[in-house]
Amino acid sequence: MRPSKLSRRWLLIALTTALMPLAMLSQSPGTARTAEVLDLPSWSDGASKKSIVDFVEAVTKKDGPDYVKPEERIAVFDNDGTLWCEMPIYPQVVFLMNRAKTIAATKGPEIQNLPLVRAATSGDIQTLTSMGPKGTQDLVNILHPNLTVGEFEKIVSEWIATAKHPRFNQPYTDCVYQPMIEVIAYLKKNGFTTYIVSGGGTDFMRPWTEKTYGIVPEHVIGSTCKLDYSSSDGEPKIMRLPEIDFINDKDRKPVAIERAIGRRPIAAFGNSNGDQQMLEWTAAGKGKRLALLVHHTDSKREYKYDRDSKVGRLDKALDEANEKGWTVVDMKNDWKRVFAFESD
């Protein structure tokens, strides 16, 4: 009985008959156990990896007590420091510093002397970083007023294609954490929908997240400026206005999730105090949940920071994680590899 002898009609019958059991098979716990080996190769065996795999097995096990329907398998990821390297400066701030030099030269002193612009052109990283997402959005608005969304997208795309991380000398989109890329793929394979929920600008992230993470533009939730629609000249356009609309940080993250998705996530991934409320909101829901903090403990392969007064991005969230038993990833020990470009 060779394949070539099979009629087309019979193939269709076979297909129809086989589809259902195969679909069911793909969600059995056996598949998840295989995934544990195949899908998270950059994770060391240990409590962190186990918490991820146990969670995914539990919520995908049909007829299990923790089963969650695929449409409710929502996972949210912070970006800076959770999916890509945020040190020594947020990449979006580097983008703005690069742009500031170009743009300020074409402007008068009323722009050049604005404290944020001065900080950007002079490389005053501490001022820029200490301003947080609001400062970043303010600077975006000062530097890029009166652009259409398409024009801004083009500027970001050109920058991200050429800019390189100062220490790793690699494109920023390669300075992404390989173990987290594997988590995104593993979740998607198990029926999850994955969102970015970041303090970074929505319009700064959307041009490259699909290629870099496999996360489509409509699943990118970030900080935003106001927009204006007009069609006075017959050609409709959407302009970015130099006015902040939403800063997606801290207690605003659960709010943004509710507004954009309307479902409470069952898994949340972050690395700083800005993610605390998002993890808290996710973890407090009914049923099995996963709340995970990436703890930067590896100064050799990446960076080491948490309560450090100069950075101070992770103290309250770490306390709550320890108190409530959230997963805290020890980057140094839990990750066999941080970046894909590392030599073996």
Query: Using CB under 8 A as the criterion, which residues of the chain lie in contact with its own copies when the complex forms?
Result: 1, 3, 6, 10-15, 17-19, 22, 71, 149, 193, 202, 206, 216-218, 220, 224, 227-231, 235-236, 238, 251-252, 254-255, 258-263, 277, 280-281, 284
- Nearer CB in complex with its own copies: 134/324: 324
- Nearer CB in complex with its own copies: 123/214: 214
Provide the minimum distance between the beta carbon of 29 and its own copies in the complex, in angstroms, as a whole number: 20
Could you give the 3-state DSSP secondary structure of residue 245? strand
- Nearer CB in complex with its own copies: 165/206: 206
CB 204 within 8 A of CB 140: yes
Provide the minimum distance between the beta carbon of 183 and its own copies in the complex, in angstroms, as a whole number: 21
CA-based R_g, the chain, Å = 22
How far is it, in rounded angstroms, from Cα 20 to Cα 26?
10
Provide the minimum distance between the beta carbon of 225 and its own copies in the complex, in angstroms, as a whole number: 10
- Nearer CB in complex with its own copies: 134/301: 134
How far is it, in rounded angstroms, from Cα 109 to Cα 174?
37
- Nearer CB in complex with its own copies: 171/207: 207
What DSSP state is assigned to residue 176? B
- Nearer CB in complex with its own copies: 152/177: 152
Provide the minimum distance between the beta carbon of 69 and its own copies in the complex, in angstroms, as a whole number: 11
Provide the minimum distance between the beta carbon of 258 and its own copies in the complex, in angstroms, as a whole number: 5
Render 59-126 in DSSP notation, one character per residue: HHSTTSTT---GGG-EEEE--BTTTB---SS-HHHHHHHHHHHHHHTTS-HHHHTSHHHHHHHHT-HH
Could you give the 3-state DSSP secondary structure of residue 335? strand
Provide the minimum distance between the beta carbon of 243 and its own copies in the complex, in angstroms, as a whole number: 13
Nearest to 136 by CA among 86, 97, 85: 97
